[in-house]
Structures are given as structure tokens and as C-alpha cells.
């Protein structure tokens, strides 16, 4: 047994921070990373010890957990040999359900083969971040020189050979305690949330797409190949279940109360319309829970207005506001984009139309929907009737839309589409801002400014993308793009 191997002593134990009692009671998941601390014997191994401690402290300060071998399990709790790689991989596998991503930290050059083998042997199939700590100009002697600058290249070379996708920090080398790494850690956590949230995603498709909307066609088979399942239900079945519900049903009454608390203006709506919305919300909730569905896409017009007598916008808005994205016009791919943005930012997403030019400014447009935007999006919001559909089905059958101005601030937008010709998922992502430019219109709307917007519009048209776009009031494009391109292999253009 080599000198390094003799430091492997029995089953490895995870080191991790403990959730505050208040968060444990709520059952909240804490972002958890498996940590591989690289080490290499003829480099200063005291750097592995201090580097491991620094990384754990940084994660703890950020409210995150670390699964990492202890110093009694391997030398300094680092990974240098195959035996240590096996030990660390076993630890990771034992914590498979907890680990959201892996961080490979190089406080010195590190053994690139052992680190890469740890990831491969663990088989977690989660995002991987490679971090290397910089040398200090005054500490370049044999006692303190790191050489992680060079070691990172060797590690990445091995990961590439092993077919393991990985992410990189902003700077080639950056200390775990640096401000730059803090931002990279937040970004990587967002990447991990998106990847975890899209894997095994189950979507409810309620009703058939409106006949006029060829634009929202999609391929279930292409989505299924990436582990995203679509569970359809006919709108007639939803309406049939509603017909069996009594007004005094506890679930219906709970939804009726929630509607009144969610958005102003319900007092102007007919009582019969509010009762229909409450029953619709109760039935959809129960169906989604019974089928383990995270998000939905709904046939929002015009059958439900003609044959049931409400628009489902407020019901869908409430779901989206609760981080259960709900897209209109059975736009399943639009719902996926909403969900990805929400996973990255931790805030609700909306589905919008790229709808109108704004005067003669080439970088501005009006984003609009009727609307089912989550109330998180609005400066102020009220319930009203849907003016467009009311012209066809009558005002009495068009109550339930959310009307208001989208608040000013940053926005990340995204569009995903299944491409049957290539068998791939394609799309685009980018960032802009909602402005305070004057706008007098109906529905849910705002003026958006996108840098080089005409180039984006040309790309949308040349690639045949839909007029729907998901939006989120955050700056999350980098995380979403990294997650879906690096770890799913989707063909996504990042407009910058």
C-alpha cells in the first residue's frame, strides 16, 4: 500500500452544515455540493488541507451544504489516489439524493486522473464546476507554490476525455473566498437548479391546442428523450369533473377564498364566474397532484369561454405565481422555458407575446398577454374581463383575466422549441429590461428594451421560432444557457 493509500480508513463520512430549524420544519431543500479537493504529493499538501477548509467555510456562509470526505477518511479529506477516488465516489453515491452538483477544487496542482475518476465512479450525472486557487506572487517557493493554474488545464483535459461535461469559473484561477467566486457559486447553484428541475420534469397538457395555433406544435418524443414527459387530459374531462363538484365542496371554497385574496377586482366579477374559476382551480390542482405534474399548459380559448363561461387566466396566474408555471394556448415548450427561468432565479415566470413595435425605437417592443401573468410581474393588478374574447363570447363569459402594467426592471427571456427536422431542442435566451415608457393598452403589458433587438427579431424569424417568449424579472440568461447547452446538449442561441 502506498503512503497516500494508507490514509483511506473505513467508510467516508460527509461533512455538511445543518439547516436552521425553521427551514427544516418547512422541508426546504438546501443546495448541496459534492466536493472533490484535488491534491498531488510533490506539491505542498498543506494547501489541500487549508483549501478544503476554506471551501467548506465558503459554502456554509452561503447557506449551502458540502458532502466531502473527512480528514480521517483520506489524507486531509482530499483525493489523490484511485483508492481515495473510490472512497469519495462511494460517499457521493450514498448521498445521491442530496447532491445537486459537484465542485472540483484545486488548491494545488491536484491529481487530474483521480479527480476525474471520482466523478465518473460516482455516476451522479450532475453539473460539475472546476475551481483553481491562484498563486500569490510572494509565495512561489517549493513550500507554498500551488501550480493550480496549470493543473486546471490537465483536469479539464481528463474530464473531456472521460466525456464528463463541466463548467468553468469566470477567471481561470480564483480563491473560494473571493467575491468573484461568490458570484460564480451563485451562478453554478442556479445551473444546478435548472438541470435538476428539468430532469424528470412532468408537464400537464390540458386540452388540445387552439386550431389556429400551429405555432405551438411540439414533439413529445423529442422531449421524452431528454426525460421530459407530457401528460395530456382532454378539456371535456376537466369540465366533466367540474360538473360533479358542489359549491360547498371544501376544496372549492378554499380556492374561492384564495381567488379573493390573490387579486383585487374580484368584487366586480359575477359570483357565478368566480365559483367556476374556483372549481376549475380545484380540479386542475387535484389532477396535477394525482399525476405528479410540476407545470402545465392550458387550452385557454375559446372552448372554455364558450362552453364553460370564464377565462382561466387568473387560475393560471395563481399557479405561475406559486412557481408552478402555467402557459396559455397549450404551449408546452413555452411552459418549459418558463420553468427553466424560474428554477434559475427562484422567482415566477410569465409567457408573453412579442406583440408590437414601440414607436420608431428599433430596440423596444410591447410585450403583451391577455393576461395570465403572475401578479409578481405587475406594478398593480386587477381582475377584469378579457376584452378581445368578450367580443366573440360576450362579457359575461370572459371574466377572469389579470390586467396591469409590467413593472420596470431587468428581464431574462427564453424560447425553447422541438425541431422535428433535426430531432433537437432549439431556442434562444437573452436579457433586457422593462421600461417606464408610457403605454395605454389592455391586458398585461409592458415596454421592453433589448440590445440589438433587430438582430434578435431577424434570428427569430429566420429560425421560425414562435411569437411566444417566456420572461422572468431577473438576470438569469447565463445560468439557463449553461444548463441547457452544457448538460442537455440543446441548441440555444444566447443573444448578448
- For the ranges 6-10, 172-176, 182-186, 468-472, which has the lowest average pLDDT? 6-10
Contacts of 360 (CB under 8 A, 6+ apart): none
Question: What is the overall mean pLDDT for the chain?
Answer: 94
Please give the pLDDT value at position 460. Answer: 98
Query: Minimal CA–CA distance to 484: which of 269, 272, 340, 313?
Result: 340
- For the ranges 42-46, 122-126, 173-177, 217-221, which has the lowest average pLDDT? 42-46
Tell the burial category of 164 from Cβ atoms under 10 Å away from its Cβ (0-12, 13-18, 19+).
Answer: middle
Question: What mean pLDDT comes out for the span 164-177?
Answer: 98
pTM above 0.85, yes or no: yes
Please give the pLDDT value at position 482. Answer: 98
313 beta partners: none
Query: Minimal CA–CA distance to 318: which of 248, 401, 250?
Result: 401
Amino acid at each position: 500500500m502506498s503512503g497516500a493509500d494508507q490514509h483511506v480508513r473505513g467508510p467516508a463520512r460527509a461533512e455538511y452544515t445543518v439547516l436552521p430549524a425553521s427551514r427544516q420544519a418547512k422541508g426546504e431543500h438546501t443546495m448541496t455540493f459534492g466536493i472533490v479537493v484535488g491534491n498531488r504529493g510533490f506539491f505542498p499538501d498543506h494547501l489541500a488541507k487549508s483549501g478544503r477548509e476554506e471551501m467548506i467555510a465558503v459554502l456554509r456562509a452561503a447557506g449551502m451544504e458540502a458532502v466531502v470526505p473527512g480528514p480521517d477518511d483520506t489524507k486531509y479529506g482530499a483525493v489523490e489516489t484511485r483508492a481515495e477516488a473510490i472512497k469519495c465516489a462511494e460517499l457521493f453515491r450514498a448521498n445521491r439524493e442530496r447532491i445537486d452538483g459537484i465542485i472540483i477544487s484545486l488548491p494545488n496542482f491536484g491529481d487530474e486522473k483521480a479527480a476525474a475518476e471520482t466523478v465518473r465512479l460516482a455516476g451522479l450525472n450532475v453539473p460539475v464546476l472546476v475551481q483553481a486557487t491562484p498563486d500569490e506572487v510572494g509565495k512561489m517557493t517549493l513550500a507554498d507554490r500551488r501550480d493550480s493554474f496549470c493543473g486546471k488545464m490537465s483536469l479539464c483535459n481528463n474530464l473531456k476525455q472521460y466525456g464528463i461535461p463541466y463548467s468553468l469559473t469566470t477567471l481561470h484561477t480564483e480563491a473560494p473566498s473571493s467575491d468573484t467566486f461568490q458570484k460564480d457559486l451563485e451562478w453554478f447553484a442556479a445551473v444546478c437548479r435548472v438541470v435538476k428541475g428539468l430532469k424528470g420534469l412532468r408537464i400537464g397538457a390540458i386540452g388540445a391546442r387552439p386550431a389556429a395555433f400551429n405555432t405551438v406544435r411540439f414533439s413529445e418524443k423529442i422531449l421524452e428523450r431528454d426525460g421530459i414527459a407530457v401528460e395530456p387530459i382532454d378539456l371535456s374531462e376537466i369540465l366533466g369533473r367540474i360538473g360533479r363538484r358542489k359549491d360547498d365542496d371544501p376544496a372549492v371554497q378554499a380556492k374561492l377564498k384564495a381567488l379573493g385574496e390573490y387579486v383585487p377586482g374580484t368584487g366586480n366579477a359575477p359570483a357565478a364566474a368566480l365559483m367556476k374559476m374556483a372549481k376549475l382551480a380545484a380540479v386542475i390542482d387535484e389532477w396535477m397532484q394525482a399525476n405528479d405534474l410540476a407545470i402545465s399548459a392550458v387550452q385557454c380559448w375559446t372552448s372554455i369561454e364558450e362552453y364553460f363561461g370564464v377565462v382561466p387566466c387568473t387560475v393560471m396566474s395563481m399557479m405561475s405565481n406559486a412557481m408552478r408555471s402555467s402557459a396559455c394556448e397549450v404551449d408546452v415548450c413555452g411552459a418549459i422555458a418558463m420553468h427553466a427561468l424560474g428554477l434559475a432565479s427562484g422567482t415566477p415566470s410569465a409567457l408573453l407575446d412579442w406583440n408590437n413595435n414601440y414607436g420608431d425605437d428599433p430596440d423596444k417592443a410591447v410585450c403583451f398577454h391577455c393576461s395570465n401573468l403572475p401578479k409578481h410581474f405587475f406594478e398593480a393588478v386587477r381582475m377584469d374581463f378579457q376584452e378581445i374574447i368578450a367580443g366573440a363570447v360576450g362579457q359575461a363569459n370572459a371574466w377572469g383575466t389579470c390586467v396591469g402594467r409590467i413593472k420596470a426592471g431587468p428581464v431574462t427571456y427564453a424560447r425553447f422549441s422541438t425541431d422535428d427536422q433535426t430531432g433537437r431542442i432549439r431556442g434562444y435566451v437573452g436579457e433586457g429590461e422593462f421600461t417606464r415608457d408610457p403605454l395605454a393598452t389592455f391586458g398585461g403589458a409592458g415596454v421592453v428594451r433589448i440590445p440589438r433587438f433587430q438582430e434578435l427579431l431577424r434570428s427569430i424569424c429566420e429560425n421560425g421560432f414562435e411569437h411566444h417568449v417566456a420572461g422572468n424579472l431577473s438576470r438569469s440568461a447565463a445560468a439557463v444557457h449553461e444548463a441547457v447547452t452544457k448538460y442537455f446538449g440543446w441548441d440555444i442561441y444566447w443573444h448578448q
